[in-house]
Amino acid sequence: MITTDASVTAAAPPRKPFYKILYIQVLIAIAIGILLGHYNAKLAIDMKPFGDGFIKMIKMLIGPIVFCTVVHGIAGMQDIRKVGRIGCKALLYFEIVSTLALFIGMAVGNWIRPGDGFNVNPATLDGKAISEYVGKAKTLTTSEFLLNIVPTTVADAFTKGDVLQVLLISLLFGFALSALGERAKPITSLIETGSQAIFGVINFIMRFAPIGAFGAMAFTVGKYGVVSLGPLVKLIGTFYLTSFLFVFLVLGVIARLSGFSIVKFLAYIREEIFLVLGTSSSDTALPTLMSKLEKLGCSKPLVGLIVPTGYTFNTDGTSIYMTMAALFVAQATNTDLSLAQQFAIFGVAMLTSKGASGVQGASFIALVGTLAVVPSVPVAGMALILGIDRFMSEARALVNMIGNGVATVVMARWEGELNRDKLSVIR
């Protein structure tokens, strides 16, 4: 009996030193970046290429990963109708949860009123700064948004990195291979091998995650300064607290009803959480999040369909931010909004929040377009939160990423892909 215990102990894999764990490395890198940004802002700003370079390396592989995952998953499915069923369920879920997030942002904004007391005269604000930040970006109409999903050419979708365009091509290609049956096996095998190779590249790139997180955080603190948070600490605190409660209460209840614990799920994706926190972009966590969800037991086609689509249609963090920030600008400039005007902002935000993913700046640009529906709210008032937008983007991107992870597990549970044994990791 003693021999057996000894053999079992000997066979156990050695425990990895804490300093070799990725999320620990990223956390340390974030701390170093904050210190450098605070004590040597000029040098910290020069660290920006490290963060930008890492994000670009991850984003260049998102298109191929989505394509390989979706195509291989659909081509191997026996029930093609399942894709349509999952898609319809997912879109309904996304709309309900993101609309709830918009409502929560508006309710908290009206309750706490973080903009009260500023008494800002809009004429004294620098509207030019907003124009320069937004640049040539414009809010798409509903028809333009839908038409934009169809790429000009197949290659164009991959070169632009538009996830929805890549997803459309992947679905069509997957359905075509499924219809070919046995004749498509050589191609599906090749795609599967390609997928494994791409994830191998991702694993290699992830070794540089601490450097990317360090560069991004150092630049943020060095450029905008921790001191800039002072006057707007009430807005930042309100937004972070609301985001925290949304994850643990709203998503927590959804998770519990689906048979798993939100706390254990967050622990399961802790590397992705710290990566998003450091880079202010949910895109950096997309490849590894998809991989972890598959290891949990979610099928390839479901993961490939839900996660990329959710990054466009299920932006819970962005939804909370948009209604709360819109009310903040109105309150800070002493602009009284009627209930009808608030619901006008709410309705437009339901459209403009779609497509504003965790990439830093996208939500700010979408909010500028949203405020245009209520002329009484001065768009120049956005200058008040321009300097702290980068700090708020971390919470937006985190909630967006966590929300899509939860949505994928919920959909897999509804489809019967996850039983109690598979969920034991996060129950």
Q: Mean pLDDT for the chain?
A: 85
Q: Return the higher-pLDDT residue of 145 and 66.
A: 66
pLDDT band at 385 (very low <50, low <70, confident <90, very high): confident
Secondary structure class of 415 (helix, strand, coil): coil
CATH of the domain at 171: 1.10.3860.10
Q: Which residue, among 139, 119, 101, 134, has the nearest Cα to 330 in the 3D structure?
A: 119
Q: How confident is the model at residue 355 (pLDDT cuts 50, 70, 90)?
A: low
For 421, the domain range is 17-425
Query: Is 352 a member of any domain?
Result: yes
**Which two structure tokens, joined as six digits, stand for 81?**
């109708």
pLDDT digits (tens, 9 = 90+) for 199-231: 899 999 999 999 999 999 999 889 878 766 666
Q: In the block, which residue shows the tokens 């066979």? A: 11
- What's the pLDDT at 10? 45
Task: Please state the domain count of the chain.
Answer: 1
pTM: 0.86
Q: Does 250 fall in a domain? A: yes
Q: What pLDDT score does 128 carry? A: 64
Domain assignment present for 9 = no
DSSP 300-350: HHHHHHHHHHHHHH--HHHHHHHHHHHHHHHHHTT----HHHHHHHHHHHH
Highest average pLDDT, of 139-143, 389-393, 412-416, comes from 412-416
pLDDT bracket for residue 186 (50, 70, 90): very high
Environment class of 258 (CB within 10 Å of its CB; exposed 0-12, middle 13-18, buried 19+) = middle
CA angle, 238 then 126 then 46, to 5°: 75
Lowest-pLDDT choice from 152-156, 354-358, 402-406? 354-358
Residue among 404, 222, 231, 380 at smallest CA distance from 309? 404
| Inside any domain, residue 298 | yes
Average pLDDT for residues 407-421, to the nearest whole number? Answer: 89
| Tens of pLDDT, residues 266-296 | 999 999 999 998 988 888 899 999 999 999 9
Contact 49, 215 (CB under 8 A): yes
Q: Is residue 351 very low, low, confident or very high in pLDDT (cuts 50, 70, 90)?
A: confident
Distance CA 196, CA 319 (A): 35
Q: Is the torsion defined by CA of 370, 374, 378, 381 positive or negative?
A: negative
- Contact between 77 and 234 (Cβ < 8 Å): no
CB of 235 within 8 A of CB of 258? no
Note whether residue 361 is domain-resident. Answer: yes
Highest mean pLDDT among 10-24, 157-171, 176-190, 255-269: 255-269
Per-residue pLDDT tens over the stretch 289-328? 999 999 999 988 899 889 988 988 888 999 999 999 999 9
Q: Could you give the 3-state DSSP secondary structure of residue 138?
A: coil
DSSP 40: -
Residue 12 domain-assigned?
Answer: no
Decide: 371 and 324 in contact? Cβ < 8 Å.
no
Q: Is residue 66 part of a domain?
A: yes
Which of 89-103, 125-139, 140-154, 181-195 is least confident?
125-139
Q: Which two tokens stand for residue 395?
A: 């919470």
Domain assignment present for residue 270? The answer is yes
